[in-house]
Amino acid sequence: ENITVPIRGWAGFPNKEKDGLYGIIAPWIAKNGTTWLFNEANVLVRAPCWNCTYQLVNDACLPSGYGEDPMLYIDHRDNLHIVYHKFAGVDFGGLPCTVTGGCGGHAYSADGGKTWHTGPTTYNATVSYTNGETIHYLTRQRPHMIMNSNGKAIGLSTGVTVCSTSNCTVDNAWPGYTDRGLTSVQPLNVD
């Protein structure tokens, strides 16, 4: 059965939409039940439980034009993290990530989401495999972290689009690419 869960309290944050919508909402439910929601409009809210009233934590977590497809998570040290797909945002002068070399972004907060720190590009469109093969994909987006039982990030899953031409571009317009897409899972070098 499909159910709709109302996000109580979100209506109290006018003009926090992206293109008139809330866009993709990235949830994270902590072990104690605290629920965090981050949306593509760059807004982070928190509630003591998933069906409780949400309170605004920050309405500008990431730089303007940061990207899309966020994933929010809390690490084993209780720091908040957001990984996201960087696209033709202002930080790249409107160029796509395959041109700039940086497709993925990362930000973290050690103070419960009040202050955020962003770093360099976290991944690009090139993936090296254990068999020695390296593939440069047309797109690499929708990042998701894979966590172990201790809450440590051990892998990165992304949606990738396989190039169909020698110069790794397509000429078909919106609503999307006609090239083949797949999921790539890459282990992280962590101890």
**pLDDT tens digits, residue range 98-132?**
566 678 889 999 999 999 998 777 888 888 888 99
**What was the pLDDT predicted at 180?**
66
Counting Cβ atoms within 10 Å, is residue 49 exposed (0-12), middle (13-18) or buried (19+)?
Answer: exposed
Residues of the chain with pLDDT under 70: 1-23, 65, 87-101, 163-180, 190-191
Give residue 51's pLDDT.
84
Are 44 and 57 within 8 A, CB to CB? yes
CA–CA dist 21, 42 (Å, integer) = 12
pLDDT of residue 98: 59
What's the rounded Cα separation, in Å, for the pair 142 and 87? Answer: 11
Q: What is the C-alpha to C-alpha distance for residues 56 and 39, in angstroms, rounded to an integer? A: 12
Q: What is the pLDDT of residue 176?
A: 54
Q: What is the CA radius of gyration of the chain?
A: 18
From the list 91, 70, 74, 56, the residue with the least C-alpha distance to 18 is 70
CA–chain centroid gap for 163, Å, is: 22
pLDDT given for residue 2 in this prediction: 41
pLDDT at 162: 74
